[in-house]
Amino acid sequence: MGMIGNYLSIDAKKLESVLDGEVNILDLEEEADPEKELFDIDKSWQAIQYLLCQDIDEGESPMGYVVPMMIENGIECEMDFGAFYLTSEQVQETRDYLCALSDDEIKQMYDFQSMVEDEIYPLVEGEDEDEFYEYMFYHLSELKEFYKRAAGQGHAVIFYIM
């Protein structure tokens, strides 16, 4: 078992309830429509963050919003790795960024050797460069679709690792 990156698309009112400590993220997850409001990027979250920001945590916006682990957007919770949120405006900014990013640009950003040297999760010794790119690219493409849906609904997003 590994650390799976999870996304939850919610309206602003539910986000306020989470930030106020009135509602637990996992309770919202149970209520959410798995086809529209939930998405997991498996273990690719750190690799995607590194690809876009060249760092494993906080990055400049809007790249740093794709896998939002910004301290200022942290959520008080009992999850081991914490949870982070994006406002509906930040979600729209993220969608716009991802939609403007071409497949060729993504491929040019990919630096497998740096990822190996920096021990980016979930790389393991002997990982195939092309296979890993396909794995990461697939999840990034699906994440783009998730952000399109969330932005289209005017939703905020919560990201957490389980």
Number of domains in the chain: 1
The neighbour count for residue 160, using CB atoms within 10 Å, is 22
Q: What is the mean pLDDT of the chain?
A: 93
Query: What pLDDT was estimated at residue 133?
Result: 98
CB 44 within 8 A of CB 122: yes
Query: What pLDDT was estimated at residue 77?
Result: 84
Q: Which residues of the chain have pLDDT under 70?
A: 1
Query: What pLDDT was estimated at residue 157?
Result: 98
Residues composing the chain: 162
Residue 21's domain is classified under what CATH number? 3.40.1760.10
Query: What pLDDT was estimated at residue 92?
Result: 98
Q: What's the predicted TM-score (pTM) here?
A: 0.94
Query: What pLDDT was estimated at residue 156?
Result: 98
CB 29 within 8 A of CB 18: no
Give dist(CA 120, CA 123) in Å, integer.
6
Query: What pLDDT was estimated at residue 1?
Result: 57
| Domain coverage including residue 52 | 5-161
Residues 38-53 have pLDDT tens digits of: 999 999 999 999 999 9
Query: What pLDDT was estimated at residue 62?
Result: 95
